[in-house]
Amino acid sequence: MGYPGEFELLVLLSVMRLRNGAYGVTIREEVERETSRILTLGAVYKTLGRLEGKGYLDASVAPPTRTRGGRRKKLYTLTPTGLETTRRSLADLKRMTEGLAAELKLS
């Protein structure tokens, strides 16, 4: 089991936060809203494909909707491997920041 990169971790966390509503546009909006990043949809979709290929995400296609002009959404959920990878990465980050809250100005 590998380790996700920083942006991959942000995408995995966004998928978790969005639950059943995680698709390319909402993931981009979530990352932009909660971080200082400005993203292209292309970067998000490329990352989603990579995470799906690593076995961290599952994708399903929702039925077309009128509000989307009859287009379908590709919805993403974390796999058990994706959840474990996310947990492990966050635990590593937490351990690495212990004792550094003042220097890093963490709240």
Q: Confirm if 74 and 24 have CB atoms less than 8 A apart.
A: yes
- pLDDT over 90 for what percent of the chain? 82
Q: Whole-number mean pLDDT of the chain?
A: 93
Candidate CATH numbers 3.40.50.980, 1.10.3720.10, 3.40.50.300, 1.10.10.10; the one for domain 6-96: 1.10.10.10
Alpha-carbon gap, residue 68 to 85, rounded angstroms: 33
The residue with greater pLDDT, 1 or 81, is 81
Query: Which pLDDT score is estimated for 64?
Result: 75
Model's pTM, two decimal places? 0.90
Domain residue limits, the chain: 6-96
Rounded CA gap, 24 and 27, in Å? 5
CB atoms within 10 A of CB 75: 19
Which letter does DSSP use for residue 99 in this model?
Answer: T
What pLDDT is recorded for position 65? 72
DSSP per-residue string spanning 22-77: -SHHHHHHHHHHHSS----HHHHHHHHHHHHHTTSEEEEEPPP-GGGTT---EEEE
Place of tokens 């509503």: 21
Segment 1-28 shows an average pLDDT of 95
Gyration radius of the chain over CA positions? 15
- Tell me: the pLDDT tens digits for 20-55? 999 999 999 999 999 999 999 999 999 999 999 999
pLDDT value, residue 27: 98
* 68 pLDDT above the threshold of 70: no
